[in-house]
């Protein structure tokens, strides 16, 4: 996904940390990450491969992945992110700060 960051664009930077011990299994933890980022699925059937793109919350909106567990989204998309993290509130700690992006420091991503 290509993203153009324009000067003085209002956004939020979100960081999160999973509480590994709170998840019942690695599968449940993966469910959180897949729901957030989406994933690619490859199914083999009758000697053929079928590829599917399963979308997550961030697939629906422009975003910049800054680092593992840190990303930036436009302020207008903030509520969707809050709603998703609220579903996982007992297993994921998260923090959100409003920011204003200056210049085109990120360029096209």
Report pLDDT digits (tens) over 38-89: 999 999 999 999 999 999 999 989 999 999 999 999 999 999 999 999 999 9
- 80 phi, psi to nearest 5 deg: -60, -40
- 4 phi, psi to nearest 5 deg: -110, 120
Q: Mean pLDDT score of the chain, rounded to an integer?
A: 88
What is the CATH class of 9-100? alpha beta
- Higher-scoring residue by pLDDT: 103, 2: 103
Say whether pTM exceeds 0.85: no
Report pLDDT digits (tens) over 25-34: 999 999 999 9
**Domain boundaries along the sequence of the chain:** 9-100
- Give the span between the Cα atoms of 1 and 102, in whole angstroms: 21
């Amino acid at each position: 996904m290509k993203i153009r960051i324009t000067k003085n664009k209002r956004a939020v930077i979100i960081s999160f940390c999973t509480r590994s011990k709170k998840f019942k299994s690695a599968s449940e933890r993966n469910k959180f990450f897949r729901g957030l980022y989406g994933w690619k699925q490859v199914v083999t059937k009758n000697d053929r491969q079928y590829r599917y793109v399963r979308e997550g919350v961030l697939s629906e909106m422009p975003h910049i992945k800054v680092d593992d567990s840190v990303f930036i989204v436009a302020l207008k998309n903030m509520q969707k992110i809050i709603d998703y993290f609220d579903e996982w509130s007992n297993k994921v700690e998260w923090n959100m700060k409003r920011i204003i992006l200056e210049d085109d420091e990120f360029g096209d991503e």
